[in-house]
């Protein structure tokens, strides 16, 4: 009877839900089934509270419970619903904020579109253009904040015979723009402040053609010559650090061991992002993955053909002929350019118009000669598209370096050496105007090449359904050429980085539209894993290093103009910093340590060479570390291949043994 009462005191088995009924394994354990039911119910309620309304209803429908139990479980308390909505709202706000930050990245959608349609080779050009834009933006901020803005707030008194604006200045950069903050000759050679008066009450002002250097006070606000000197120096130093860091980082990212077979498997199995739900994003991602798979398959299926001795000799002769044509044409153009580099007539209007002759000739050479290089590459018939691209980069680099070297010799060896003989009062402003004209003509001829070389060519052969292929080598070297002009001209034209920023912005949209409308993807897809590193290296060593050497020679050894600019009446621009240190030491003898540090660290070129050597050593050691990592990874991959081969051999032997055993 007691046993019967005990059984009747417990709820019947039919009162339990099927999922909560005790298992046979529960018998023999001293656990109360009512407590277990309560704990299971509590866990179920807690799990349902963390779900959305739709997910909660969907889960309850799939549970083997009665309608009454489902309705009871679906009624979650109000505080739980409020907690759920708060969590969902916070999560939605966080994801919206992340999407907003992602949308702030410049040209993100456009770059994905180009990558999906044309591959990594064309994408590397636009990424390099974006990198140059950030370099110029940094340079514009520095020069604008410490040079242009203070001088614009305290403008000097201009001469009476200032020329009016005629519209031709937009092409030549001369005339009306000569007496503005755009050029070196406008800047004052004294300390700027609100009132600059001597004891007699006469105001010392700065004219564009000369000033007095007697505006001195113990409470000076802004030393313009010193700011000009140190702003240029610090800007170049920080740019050098950023370039070295970018190049070192790019070396580490590009020179990795990544065999195409393993990357192909990863790309097929793991490349799709399932969080992407928009149709446009899905289309972009599918095009991008498809293009990358084509590049990887082309690299996997690449075959190395062994040529005979006669074929090797013939190819060697063709390569020699092609390089002879390229070097000979470059030398002829440089010699012709040397004859064309002279100053024009004395008539102002004719002089301004004739000043465009030299930039036009140089731009024509840069436009037409790469076509001859492409013809030579067609003669050579390279099997690998990447090798053809690198050879074209070398030839275009040879042309750009030759032209820029001749122009630097013309400006610093002829114009700056004896400006009085050619009728120049301020040779720095003239060189700045020349650099502005070269930069503008380069942009105009790039537009003409885009119009006639791509758009009209596509219209001409539209019936044959053929489109031109985007020339990566020539377009990248054009960017490096323009950036070198900007670095050369920032000393003479502080606003030249702003002109370069406008040029790069327009160039991105023009080139992107032209590529999408007029060009086709390469006929032979190829993966460019190290091209970005090559671009950064070329930007650092031939471009930035050459511009830094020219600017350093100008500031350390060439005599400034005596009638304009912040360094007038000084033997060199470098003496501005030296004079400031001497004045500090004279006013405060405790700062003699600063004077000695300046003489040892700045005046002595040995430390400059030491600093440059340290940068080169850092790059060398980083490349060696990366090379060592590559060797270690290659050895590990060889070991993996050996283990795989050994396992295949063992598996084959076991299968043969099993077959023999079954047969016997």
Confidence of residue 4 (pLDDT cuts 50, 70, 90): very low
Helix (H, G, I), strand (E, B) or coil at 140: helix
Q: Per mean pLDDT, which range of 232-246, 309-323, 439-453 is the poorest?
A: 309-323
**What token pair was written down for 526?**
């190829």
Q: 285 or 1: which carries more pLDDT confidence?
A: 285
Nearest by Cα to 52 from 90, 98, 87:
87
Could you report the per-residue pLDDT of 582-612, keeping only the tens digit for each? Answer: 777 777 777 777 777 766 666 666 666 777 7
Residue 325: pLDDT over 50: yes
The number of helix segments (H) and strand segments (E) in the chain equals 25, 4
Rounded to an integer, the average pLDDT of 394-407 is 92
Q: Per mean pLDDT, which range of 463-477, 533-547, 565-579 is the poorest?
A: 463-477
* pLDDT value of residue 397: 92
Could you report the per-residue pLDDT of 406-458, keeping only the tens digit for each? Answer: 999 989 888 888 888 777 888 999 999 999 999 999 999 999 888 877 666 66
Residue 147: pLDDT over 70: yes
Could you report the per-residue pLDDT of 34-58, keeping only the tens digit for each? Answer: 666 667 777 777 777 666 666 777 7
Confidence of residue 212 (pLDDT cuts 50, 70, 90): very low
Nearest by Cα to 457 from 519, 513, 516:
519
Could you report the per-residue pLDDT of 467-491, keeping only the tens digit for each? Answer: 778 888 889 999 999 999 999 999 9
Rounded to an integer, the average pLDDT of 215-236 is 78
Angle (nearest 5°) at CA 600 between 597 and 602: 85
Confidence of residue 76 (pLDDT cuts 50, 70, 90): low
Q: What is the pTM of this model?
A: 0.77
- For the chain, what is the radius of gyration of the CA atoms? 36
Q: Per mean pLDDT, which range of 135-139, 227-231, 284-288, 535-539 is the poorest?
A: 284-288
Burial (CB < 10 A; 0-12, 13-18, 19+), residue 621, is: exposed
Rounded to an integer, the average pLDDT of 340-366 is 70
Q: 109 or 219: which carries more pLDDT confidence?
A: 109
Angle (nearest 5°) at CA 545 between 543 and 549: 120
* pLDDT value of residue 117: 83
Q: 457 or 313: which carries more pLDDT confidence?
A: 313
Instruction: Tell me the torsion sign for CA atoms 593, 595, 596, 600.
Output: positive
* pLDDT value of residue 462: 52
DSSP output for 545-578: IHHHHHHHHHHHHSPPPSSSSTTTT-SSTTHHHH
Confidence of residue 5 (pLDDT cuts 50, 70, 90): very low
* pLDDT value of residue 400: 93
Residue 354: pLDDT over 70: yes
Average pLDDT of the chain?
77
Rounded to an integer, the average pLDDT of 626-639 is 75
Confidence of residue 305 (pLDDT cuts 50, 70, 90): low
Confidence of residue 348 (pLDDT cuts 50, 70, 90): very low
Confidence of residue 119 (pLDDT cuts 50, 70, 90): confident
Residue 222: pLDDT over 90: no
Confidence of residue 541 (pLDDT cuts 50, 70, 90): confident
DSSP output for 403-462: HHHHHHHIIIIIITT-TGGGT-S-HHHHHHHHHHHHHHHHHHHHHHHHIIIIIHHHHHTG
* pLDDT value of residue 551: 93
Could you report the per-residue pLDDT of 249-278, keeping only the tens digit for each? Answer: 777 666 554 555 566 667 777 777 666 666
Confidence of residue 385 (pLDDT cuts 50, 70, 90): confident
* pLDDT value of residue 263: 66
Q: What is the percent of the chain where pLDDT is above 70?
A: 74
**What token pair was written down for 184?**
């070196």
* pLDDT value of residue 63: 75
* pLDDT value of residue 214: 45
* pLDDT value of residue 259: 52
């Amino acid at each position: 009877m007691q046993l019967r009462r005990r059984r009747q005191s417990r709820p019947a088995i039919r009162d339990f839900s099927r999922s909560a009924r005790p298992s046979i394994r529960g018998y023999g354990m001293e656990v109360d089934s009512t407590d277990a039911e309560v704990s299971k119910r509590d866990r179920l309620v807690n799990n349902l509270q963390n779900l959305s309304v739709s997910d909660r209803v969907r889960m309850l429908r799939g549970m083997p419970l009665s309608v009454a139990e489902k309705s009871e479980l679906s009624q979650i308390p109000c505080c739980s619903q409020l907690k759920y909505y708060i969590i969902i709202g916070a999560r939605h706000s966080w994801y919206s904020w992340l999407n907003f930050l992602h949308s702030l990245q410049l040209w993100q959608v456009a770059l994905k579109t180009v990558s999906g349609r044309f591959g990594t080779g064309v994408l590397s050009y636009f990424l390099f253009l974006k990198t140059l834009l950030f370099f110029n933006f940094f340079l514009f901020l520095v020069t604008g904040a410490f040079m242009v803005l203070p001088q614009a707030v305290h403008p000097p008194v201009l001469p009476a015979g200032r020329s009016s604006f005629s519209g031709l200045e937009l092409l030549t950069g001369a005339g009306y723009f000569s007496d503005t903050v755009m050029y070196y000759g406008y800047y004052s050679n004294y300390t700027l402040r609100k009132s600059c008066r001597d004891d007699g009450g006469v105001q010392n002002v700065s004219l564009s053609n000369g000033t007095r250097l007697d505006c001195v006070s113990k409470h000076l606000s802004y030393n313009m010559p010193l700011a000009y000197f140190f702003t240029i120096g610090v800007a170049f130093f920080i740019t050098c650090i950023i370039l070295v860091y970018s190049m070192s980082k790019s070396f580490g990212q590009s020179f990795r061991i990544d065999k195409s077979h393993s990357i192909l498997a990863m790309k097929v199995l793991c490349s799709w992002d399932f969080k992407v739900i928009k149709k446009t994003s899905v289309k972009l991602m599918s095009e991008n993955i498809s293009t990358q798979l084509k590049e990887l398959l082309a690299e996997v299926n690449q075959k190395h053909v062994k040529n005979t001795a006669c074929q090797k000799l013939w190819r060697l002769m063709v390569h020699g002929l092609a390089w002879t044509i390229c070097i000979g044409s470059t030398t002829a153009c440089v010699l012709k350019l040397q004859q064309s580099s002279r100053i024009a007539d004395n008539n102002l209007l004719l002089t301004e118009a004739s000043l465009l002759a030299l930039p036009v000739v140089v731009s024509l050479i840069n436009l037409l000669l790469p076509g001859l290089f492409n013809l030579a590459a067609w003669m050579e018939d390279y099997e690998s598209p990447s090798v053809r691209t690198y050879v074209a980069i070398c030839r275009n680099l040879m042309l750009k370096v030759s032209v820029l070297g001749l122009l630097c010799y013309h400006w610093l060896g002829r114009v700056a050496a004896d400006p009085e003989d050619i009728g120049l009062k301020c040779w720095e402003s003239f060189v700045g105007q020349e650099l502005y004209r070269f930069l503008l003509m380069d942009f105009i001829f790039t537009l003409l090449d885009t119009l006639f070389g791509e758009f009209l060519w596509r219209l001409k052969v539209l019936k044959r359904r053929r489109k031109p292929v985007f020339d990566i080598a020539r377009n990248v070297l054009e960017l490096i050429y323009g950036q070198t002009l900007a670095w050369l001209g920032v000393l003479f034209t502080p606003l030249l980085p702003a002109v370069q920023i406008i040029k790069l912005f327009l160039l991105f949209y023009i080139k992107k539209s032209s590529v999408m409308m007029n060009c086709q993807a390469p006929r032979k897809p190829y993966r460019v894993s190290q091209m970005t590193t090559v671009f950064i290296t070329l930007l650092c060593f031939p471009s930035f290093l050459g511009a830094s050497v020219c600017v350093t020679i100008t500031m350390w050894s060439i005599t400034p103009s005596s009638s304009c600019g912040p360094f007038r009446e000084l033997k060199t621009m470098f003496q501005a910093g030296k004079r400031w240190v001497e004045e500090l030491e004279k006013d405060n003898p405790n700062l003699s340590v600063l004077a000695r540090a300046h003489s040892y660290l700045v005046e002595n070129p040995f430390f400059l060479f030491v600093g440059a050597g340290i940068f080169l050593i850092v790059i060398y050691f980083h490349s060696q570390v990366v090379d060592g990592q590559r060797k270690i990874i290659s050895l590990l991959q060889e070991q993996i291949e050996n283990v795989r081969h050994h396992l295949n051999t063992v598996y084959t032997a076991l299968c043969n043994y099993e077959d023999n055993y079954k047969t016997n």
